[in-house]
Each structure stands twice: as structure tokens, then as C-alpha cells.
Structure 1
Amino acid sequence: MATGSTLPRRALGRRIRQLRERNNVSQAAAARIVETSPQSYGRLEEGRVTKVTDLGINALANAFKADDEERRLLLDLAQEIRQTQKSDGSLWRATSDVIPKAFNHYLALEEAASRIISWQTMLVPGLLQTREYRRALVWAEYPGMPPEEVERILDFVMKRQEMLVNSDFRFEAILAEAVLRYQAGGPGVSTDQLRRMLELSEMPNVSVRIVPFDAQTPVALITRSPFVICEFPPLPTSKLIEPPVVYIEGFVGELYLERNVEVAQYMDTARRLAQVALPEAASRDRVLTTIKELMK
């Protein structure tokens, strides 16, 4: 039985399904293209264990009219599947990794998720950031980046936030109170960011809760590292539930955890953080208080 991280297989399946649907090709027709059964092809699109060859990937890319960049991404993901076969069920991606260099697993998970729980200790989550707040972060991390590249990143971040209007998606942010206090870009940018957070927190599918400095249980102090939990809807064909993934971002890379025992520990930590976080209304009051202090 194949082992290793499921992330490359899931990502490859989603990309192939998107290309197929874009060209109005049925699964049965796609199965005939790669000379396999509809069941085996269905497993490919759902990211389940199945044999993937570069010859088959190229045949599908031709049939689905993939451009050069799309074809390269499919082949890179297929190569990553083979490289991760012997991993322990987690995936570590150093920032210097170049296979596949044009693909970010977290963004793919975010796009596919039905629910995201984000624990942050210093920064506002990307789905809640204003353009100017994110600009300050980009300039701080990459002071030499060309302005046009900065704007491209900002356009992409703002585009990501469109998923918040999807009523089938739920975003739950649990934030240490320090997130409200750190000023990125100065008081004006920080004030606008907190106002934006308040606005988004009123949406029925968005929850923002603050773990205050004076929380009686020190779980927030123990859980110093931010993390994100992604949960997913049933797979489109088999209706199986796609396993959740924990994402942890570090200074030199990204860690993705998929094993049940590890995911369960982070789910329990998120539950404990939620227990000590202020209710949503009280959290909004805490944000408002911070805004007033910044405006003095």
C-alpha cells in the first residue's frame, strides 16, 4: 500500500478535474483517454491512491487543452507524488524547494476547504487582511521587491478573500490579543485593519474571537506557534470525507500534517483555545477598545 503525504495526490486530482470540467469532458471520456476504468480515473481526480504516469498526464493535458504552465504543474505534482511515497504522512516544504516551484499547497487547501480554523499569535490572518496591512508585511519581509511584484501579490491576496462570500465556507479565527496590538504600517493602517476585521466578523460564516492577555488558562502561552486547520466537503464522486490537514508556517518552510493522531492533537488545542477565547460580541468590544486607543 502506498504511503506518504496525500497532498500532492489531492492537488493533482483537483487540477485535473478543473481542466476536465473547463473543457466539458465527462469522466467516462477522460478514462478512455488514459485507457483505464472510470473507477480508477475517479480515484485519480479524488486524490486517492492510483497509478499516475507522465504519459497519462500528458495525454490528459492534451485532451484538456492545457497550456504549457498548466502541463508543467501537472507533471511537477506527479513527480512530487513519487518523491513523497516514503514519507511519514506529513510534508515539509522548505522555502528553497523548487518542485513544484509554481505551486503552493496551502493556497490549494484553502481554496478547497469548507471550514478553516486559524490560530494566530501576532498577525491578522490573510483572509481578513486589508491591502495596506498586507503591503506593510510584504515590504518588511522583502524590502527589495519591485513595486509591480508587490502589487501582484496584493491583488492575489484580495482575490483570495472572495471565498468569504461563499455561504458553504466557514472561517474561524482565534487570535491572541497581541494580534490587535502589533502595528503593521503604523496606527492608521492598524486602525483600518481592525475596522475591516470588525466588518468581516459580522458575516454569518466568519467568526473572530480574541484570547485576552488575562485569560485564566495559559493554553495560549503554551501554544506559541500559529497553525491552521483545513477541513473539506465530501468528495464529488465517492462522497467520502477528505481528511483534514494542519498547516504550520515557519521562517524557512512549511509543514503539513495529515496523520489522524497529529491532526487530533491540533483539533483538541483549537478546542481549548476556543474555551478561553472571549465570545464573539466581547471580542468585537475588545477590538473596538483597541481602535479607540490607537486613535488617541
Structure 2
Amino acid sequence: MALRSNPTLRQLRLGAELRRMREQAGLGGSQLARSLGINPAHVTQMESGRTGISVERLRTIAALCMCVNEPLIDALAEIITDRDKGGWWEEYRGRLSQHFLEMAEMEGRAHGLSTYTMAFIPGLLQTNAYASAVFARGYPLLPPHEVDLRTAFRMRRQQVVRSGETPYSAYIHEAALRMQFSGPGVQADQLGSLIEDSERSTISIRVVPFTVDALPINHENFTYVEGPVPELDTAQMDSGLDSVLFDAPAHIAQFRSLLERIDSAALSAEESRDFIQSIKSDMESNNA
């Protein structure tokens, strides 16, 4: 079997979980290879997502590693059997960077999503005009066709939450509600769209106002992606020009704790809706 040159995010996660399973059992790669009757290099390739495995081999590895977490094993088996089902984001491969595709893949496979943003409205809730303005103000400046491509991709991503397929909780700092990327008109329309989205049964929008004491967060935004089992949850954070993914148990526990603290500090859904409406009304009256 030819080695994959560009494993998908789920293939990489499967490999990472196989490695974690082996390490938790205290087995080296060579030890596991001997028990499986394969070359040690094959173990490395499985754990890096560069080669696939069967469900039968997954269950053999789980038994050798003394893993008795059946829900996790079943979820990993689902990744294997689902490997040939590509998502809509594959249409953009070669046109957008891997970061964009990974975000869409995570969202498309998520069982639940939560975001926290301080500088801008969450991408999954942005209007077309707002998203276009955000991309147009990057540095260095993007050419118009790139702005249009990224905006179209972002609008396509929103289907996962606007369709009601995936429960979504958005925690938005007041700063993001007031930050303007293309004048008060675009911002007011964006706030109106937030109010409409907040009425959807599967979307929760909660505001963290300026009056809340500073939260212990050393980054402006992050996304928490719920997997089919808690062990397969993932957190994503933007860092400079890159996107960083976290799946280690300690990191996941930290992000869960952060979400709990943000949730306890944020206004209720109804209070948040009223708060957003007040900002929108002030913005419209000041620019009438």
C-alpha cells in the first residue's frame, strides 16, 4: 500500500490515538511491532497517519495495549470505516491552505462546537459583507480574488451550524461587538444577524461585557470541537500566521476549564440578545 503524502486531519488523529494507546500501555514501537508480526517502520507509519489500518487490526492493537475503553475504540473504528467519505471542503484543496480545510473538516465532523472571540465576530456567524471586510484588511493585503474565495469558503462553513446539524455555543467579548472592519453600516447589519441567529434553538450566543474582570486567557480566540467521545475532543487556537491544534488530555482539560469560567462570566442568552440590540441601536442612532 502506497504511503499517504498528505493525511487528513482525522487520519492524523487516528494515528495519534494509536500512539497514545501504545504509550499508555508502556510499549515501545518495536515491542508492538513484534506482537503484531510487522516491521517497526509500519508502526511508525500507522501512528503518523501515513498508512491505513483495518478495524480488525485496531481491535488487536487495543487488546495488546490493554485498552478497555470500548466507546473510544468504537469511535476510532468509525474513523476507519468512514475514511472514504470526503467532505465538501475537498473541492478547495489546492486553492486554500491546509489550515482552512482542517477547520472545515473539524467542524463538519463535530458533535458540538464552542468558540470564544475577542477581536471579531466568530467566523461561523459572520455576514458575507463582514467576512469580506475582515479578509480585505489582512496584512499583507490579499488580492480581490483571494478575498472572494476565502469569503465564499467561510459562508459554506456556516451551513454546519445554520442547518441545525451541530449544536453551537458562541462566547463573544464586547470588544468584538464594537470593533468595526468596514464602517457602522456593515457592523450594524452584522449585529442584526447575530440577534437573528440567537433565536435559533441550536445556536447559543453569550456576551462577555467589558465589566467582567479580566479572564485568565492568554489568547484572543479559540474553538473547542466535541468529538463522538470526550477523548476525541480537539481545541484550535490561532497563533500569528498559523493555527495550532491541541488534543493531549492535559490541554483538553485546560480548555474545558476555560470554557466553564467563560460560561460563568458571560451574560445569559436573553441578556446577551438585549445587549447586542442596545449596541446596534446606539450605532444606528449615532450614524443616522
TM, length-normalised to structure 2: 0.66
Offset of residue 144 of structure 1: 4.2
1:218 maps to which residue? Answer: 214
2:237 to 225, 248, 252: 248
Q: Is the 8 A contact 2:113 2:224 kept in 1?
A: yes
- 2:265 paired with 1:295: no
- From 219, 224, 228, the counterpart of 1:233: 228
1:180 paired residue number:
177
Q: The residue matched to 1:104 in structure 2 has which SS?
A: helix
For 2:149, the equivalent position in structure 1 comes to: 152
Identity %: 27
CA deviations over 1:73-94 (Å, ceiling 9, x no partner): 8xxxxxxxxxxxxxxxxxxxxx
CA contact 1:11–1:108 (8 Å) conserved in 2: no
* Alignment partners' CA distance in 2, 1:293 and 1:172: 26
Distance 1:103 1:12, change over 3 A: farther
Q: Which amino acid aligns with 1:206?
A: I
Query: Relative to structure 1, is the Cα distance of residues 13 and 119 closer, same or farther in structure 2, using a 3 angstrom cutoff?
Result: closer
Task: Report the Cα distance in structure 2 between the residues aligned to 1:261 and 1:270, rounded to whole angstroms.
Answer: 15
Contiguous gaps of at least 5 residues in structure 1:
1-6, 15-33, 53-60, 74-99, 235-240
* Offset of residue 168 of structure 1: 4.1
Instruction: State the match for 1:260 in structure 2.
Output: 249
1:281 aligns with 2:275: no
Q: CA deviation at 1:158?
A: 1.0
In the alignment, which residue of structure 1 is the partner of 2:56?
A: 39
Match of 2:124 in 1: 127
CA RMSD of aligned residues (A): 3.6
**What secondary structure, in the 3-state scheme, does the structure 2 residue paired with 1:141 have?**
coil
The higher-RCO structure (CA 8 Å, 6+ apart) is: 1
Aligned amino acid, residue 228 of structure 1: T
Q: How does 1:38-57 map to 2 (within 5 A)?
A: 39-40=56-57
Q: Counterpart of 2:133?
A: 136
What does 1:98-137 correspond to in 2, within 5 Å? 104-137=101-134
Give 1:202's match in structure 2, choosing from 199, 203, 220: 199
Contact 2:177-2:191 within 8 A present in 1 as well: yes
8 Å CA contact 2:9, 2:102 repeated in 1: no
Residue 158 of structure 2 aligns to a residue whose secondary structure is: helix
Which is worse superposed, 279-288 or 35-44?
A: 35-44
Residue of structure 1 equivalent to 2:26: none
The whole-number CA distance in structure 2 between the counterparts of 1:37 and 1:186 is 54
Q: CA deviation at 1:223?
A: 1.4
* Gap runs ≥5 in structure 2: 1-6, 15-50, 62-72
1:167 and 2:164 correspond: yes
Asked whether the equivalents of residues 206 and 266 of structure 2 are also in contact (C-alpha less than 8 Å), the reply is: yes
Q: What is aligned with 2:10?
A: 10
**Is the 1:136–1:184 contact (alpha carbons within 8 Å) kept by the matching residues of 2?**
yes
Tell me the amino acid that sits aligned with residue 258 of structure 2: T
Task: State the Cα distance separating 1:254 from its structure 2 match.
Answer: 1.5
**Contact map agreement 2:75 2:228 (CA 8 A) in 1:** no
Q: What is the deviation of 1:142?
A: 5.1
Query: Following the alignment from structure 2 to structure 1, what is the Cα–Cα distance between the partners of residues 9 and 120?
Result: 31
